[in-house]
Structure 1
Amino acid sequence: MDRREIAALLAYIGRLDPRTIRTDQGEARDQLAQWHELLGDVPMATPHGWDARVAARQHIRVSPYPILPADVARPWESYRRDRLGRHTDPTPSVSPDDQAAWTAELVGARRAVAAGTAQPAQYRAITSGRLDPELEARLREIGSCIPPAARAALAPYRPARAAREAAVAQGQPDALGVRCAWCLAQVGEPCRRRWIGPDDGARGTAPRATPHPSRLDLAVAQQAQQTQRTQQVQQVQQVQQVQQSAMA
């Protein structure tokens, strides 16, 4: 705020709280100089929600003490921190090879957000809307968002996941789709083996590349039950179709 804006703010505060009014010309000049020194970098208002008069009125409304410059500066700092906390740096429009221009654009965007002249840039939330047609076609082509070459390169670093994918691709039951009764691994988590110490106590666990046999047996039984239920549903549907055709 410049000196004219500070004077307007003091006049507004004086109407709400006469205790802040200075009748002596020298005291009024000193008060104006003090407030301008402390609030010179605080704007009177911004296009996005900040108004120094609102902050002053809020203090006068809830506090029995005369207002001080800090009672306007504190809400302004909170306003700045909140906006910067919600801001995600967008990708600059300049070439990343020009480091100086890249940094300058990032700094300029942050300063504009902090000053209240620009809205914080935030990541778009994931929605359940329709996928991009090109992305859908690509997913149908490769069958996964991870390309086959990348999946093969990652296989040595996640053996449990690779074994699971290979089993499912061969039509075998998904062992990680059920809970392991032996090591108590939850659905989707690999089985774990225990490290036993000399005193026969468990010293720790480590993930297994293959599931426990009992977990695999449970997955086979569950797959058989699902297959049986699917066949029963299909038989019921076929009978219903025959009956409807006969009635027609």
Structure 2
Amino acid sequence: MERREVAAVLAYIGRLDPRTIRAIRTDTGEARDQIAQWHELLNDVPLATDHGWDVREAIRAHILDSPYPILPVDIARKWRAHRRDRLDRHTDPTPTADPDDPAAWRTELIGTRHAVATGSAAPSTHRRVTGGGLHPDVEARLRAIGSCVPPTVRAELTRYRPARAAREAAIAEGRPDALGVRCQWCHAPEGEPCRSRRVGLDGRARGNAPRATPHPTRVDLAAAELARQEAA
């Protein structure tokens, strides 16, 4: 920010906030000293950028939110926070320079980051998770295989997750989904496999290993729930 821009900022503050009227110098010598003081703290703060920063917005926000008159450090801190946020959202794009030329590669990276930090370029966020629908190729593949997990991969995973495999087989054959209800024997919640719990001599439960098959009472409860749904 140049000296004339600092003077414009001081005039803008004086128009918006009556509390600063006394703080803004009108004498030629005092005004020159005040502009020099503010310029010392704001010389690296731009008046406005093409991407999200405007010193007038920062001034208005301070006047609306703070009970204290604005100081040059308040503006400088807001700019630093804005610049830090932009760099945090920036992902370095691959430089166009020759990778075998480290100096040119580094120079381009530094130049891109400096452009983002100063507001002359927008942050590159191409690696972020974005919204929107699936790619047409992915949709076509899902329609072809019917699942995100191909059948061959699902078959290979069967031995590592027997409870899930048994549940999928039961649903495919039209049998009751035992894991669709809460187990009244081991108190396993819906969607979780049953647990092998033994009762010790003191009456307390011993062991908590997952079972490959659900408890019979859970199967009966699932069958009753399926019958109720079909009757409804």
- State TM-score, norm by structure 2: 0.69
> d(CA) in 1 for partners of 2:187 and 2:222?
14
- % of aligned pairs identical? 58
Map of 1:45 onto structure 2: 48
Q: Which residue of 1 aligns with 2:25?
A: 22
How far off its partner does 1:221 sit? 3.0
Separation of aligned partners in 2, 1:200 and 1:107: 71
The question of 1:125 aligning with 2:131 is answered: yes
Q: 3-state SS of the aligned residue for 2:22?
A: helix
Which residues of structure 1 form unaligned runs of 5+? 230-248
1:171-200, CA deviations, whole angstroms, 9 ceiling, x for partnerless residues?
432211222222232322222333666744
Q: Residue 202 and residue 33 in structure 1: after superposition, are their counterparts in 2 closer, same or farther (change >3 A)?
A: farther
Q: State the distance in 2 between where 1:74 and 1:164 align.
A: 58
Alignment CA distance shift 1:29-1:106 (3 Å):
closer
C-alpha deviations, 1:200-220, integer Å up to 9, x for none? 434673432221111112223
Cα 1:205–1:14, aligned 2, differ >3 Å: closer, same or farther?
same
Residue of structure 1 in register with 2:3 after alignment: 3
Aligned to 2:77: 74
Which range moves more in the overlay, 104-113 or 193-202? 104-113
Map of 1:1-248 to 2, 5 A cutoff?
1-16=1-16, 17-60=20-63, 63=66, 65-80=68-83, 87=89, 89=91, 92=93, 108=112, 112=116, 115=119, 117-118=121-122, 121=125, 123-125=129-131, 134-194=137-197, 199-202=202-205, 205-227=208-230
CA offset digits 1:39-59 (Å, max 9, x no partner): 233221234443212322443
Higher deviation after alignment, 104-113 or 204-213? 104-113
Letter of the structure 2 residue corresponding to residue 39 of structure 1 = L
Structure 2: distance between partners of 1:148 and 1:193:
30
Mapped to 2, the partners of 1:149 and 1:55 lie a distance apart of 58
Runs of 5+ consecutive residues of structure 2 not aligned to the other structure: none
| DSSP-derived class of the 2:188 partner | coil
SS at match of 2:197: strand
Q: Return the offset for 1:82.
A: 5.6
